[in-house]
Structure 1
């Protein structure tokens, strides 16, 4: 049993080192990473698409990387915003990791990118334990998921620097109790900001972009109590899952939505069969 715990802590410690290196490198070039976590179907892709469009309107150089187990659906949607978008297919891996992210950014991320939004795999368990070198960690939950979501996933919500509620245009129909949700968030993450949004109705549009820009400037970013405990006590006290994962996946794919089909495959030294399938970006 101790061996399993030690292995998990070693994996997470290695990831933290890679995350800090990536954070330092991207900060030096003026790029802020925003890590978006949520359950599947929370509406984060729809909200992110609106935020990317708004960033373009404001003249903010922005890019997005989205990760899924399969399909390029989210990347195709995000590419409609006209910003650089890349799809990463994890082939079963339930989260992104810092070293993996760094490899996918190498040679792809435009040099002038001010904000990079990373849409993590839809999952509130595994991704919660992995720092991606982000300057802002955002957890999203739709009004349909229940007010007790923060209590069921305390690590994900407890490490969030911003909590975003989505699909508020149907809050009344599903009898969403905003006060109860806020109280549950406060219980696991005292002081974190909770923002109400609706991609369809436009409620709260631009708040995510504003908070991301502020994080890049080093202002107003919430420091969760759980994050302080993590720094003091180590990973064993804060990571809420005991799974260890195979980090040498056989088929990890990345899809660049800036270029045309037909470019040569690019091989990643840490993967057995990774492929790059560029896809034409919709302008």
Structure 2
């Protein structure tokens, strides 16, 4: 269980390669960091509220409950916060993932959004245009089903499905297992499509090179202040479905201002993954986030040239 948000079904997390037929990989038993409640125990071995039997002189023993407290050293229930330890363990695993990726020159992008913002549509479009050049693979996170992973697979790029059960985010250990199954090539790119959620994914470092947050114009422009942790963590914020701006109440400048108030360092793009408007900026950003950026940028520019 995730003690940060109360979600979790680690024992039922499934990592699948989506082969024909689907083969589930690496179903390791998960360890839940659950603390057993500490009982209040009387130092003489009996519970706090106990009964005494005594005789009133009529020959009959009477049992009376004595709910009064005894002030002689009871051990009271104790709650130990586990969030810090849980995140510290995750951060250690994330650092190992980061070292593993950097050692192989693999660029990993953690793509996050609420459900329906267009993560999968953007990835499908990106893989269609640049999948071969980027040598791109995808690790797809969802609570259930492989619907989004099937869309990725239809483009012809390798994809690993991680189903989290009741879990609302991926963590560093899940990514490690996904990378083991995906086995990306040296110098390739890995897109990590996180579970649709604007809360917990922001708290869990996976070892990625950058965090990408996507917001649809249909969601409203107040998200940065409602979900500040997500936008504080973002290296890039994408406003998607720009083709719908004439039909919805979404203030792009106001959204940008709210985002900058929370995270002045983040970069910002407006695009439509459906129509292709603004995708050049996204492709340029992909080419500018690693030490190999100059070569990759030239490659992407050639791809986008008429």
Say whether the fold is shared (TM-score over 0.5).
yes
Which of 157, 170, 176 is equivalent to 2:231? 157
Q: Note closer, same or farther for the CA distance 1:9–1:2 as it changes in structure 2 (3 Å cut).
A: farther
Report the alpha carbon displacement of residue 111 of structure 1 after superposing the two structures with TM. Answer: 2.2
Residue number among 71, 82, 86 corresponding to 2:145 in the alignment? 71
Q: Which deviations, in whole Å up to 9, do the C-alpha atoms of 1:205-227 show, x marking residues without a partner?
A: 1433432342232879xxxxxxx
Tell me which residue corresponds to 2:124.
49
Q: How far off its partner does 1:193 sit?
A: 1.4
Q: Is the 8 A contact 2:213 2:238 kept in 1?
A: yes
SS of corresponding position for 1:93: coil
- The DSSP-based 3-state class of the residue aligned with 2:198 is coil
Q: Is the contact made by 1:64 and 1:84 (CA closer than 8 Å) also made in structure 2? A: yes
Bigger relative contact order, structure 1 or 2 (CA pairs below 8 A, ≥6 apart) = 1
Partner of 1:243: none
SS at match of 1:140: strand
Check 1:107–1:120 CA distance in 2 against 1; reply closer, same or farther (3 A cut): closer
Q: State the Cα deviation string for residues 85-112 of structure 1 (Å, max 9, x = none).
A: 1111111111111111101211432323
Task: Tell me how far apart the structure 1 counterparts of residues 99 and 135 of structure 2 sit (CA, whole Å).
Answer: 19
> What's the RMSD between the two structures over aligned residues?
2.0
| In structure 2, C-alpha distance between the alignment counterparts of 1:72 and 1:188, rounded to whole Å | 34
Q: Are residues 1:174 and 2:248 paired?
A: yes
Contact persistence 2:160–2:181 (CA under 8 A): no
Unaligned runs of 5+ in 1: 221-283
2:144–2:163 CA contact under 8 A, matched in 1: yes
TM-score normalised by the chain length of structure 1:
0.73
- Name which one, 1 or 2, has greater alpha-carbon Rg: 2
Alignment correspondent of 1:92: 166
**Taking structure 2 as the reference length, what is the TM-score of the superposition?**
0.67
Which residue of the partner structure matches residue 190 of structure 1? 264
8 Å CA contact 1:115, 1:212 repeated in 2: no
User: How many Å separate the matches in 2 of 1:101 and 1:195?
Assistant: 27
Distance in 1 (alpha carbons) for counterparts of 2:78 and 2:159: 41
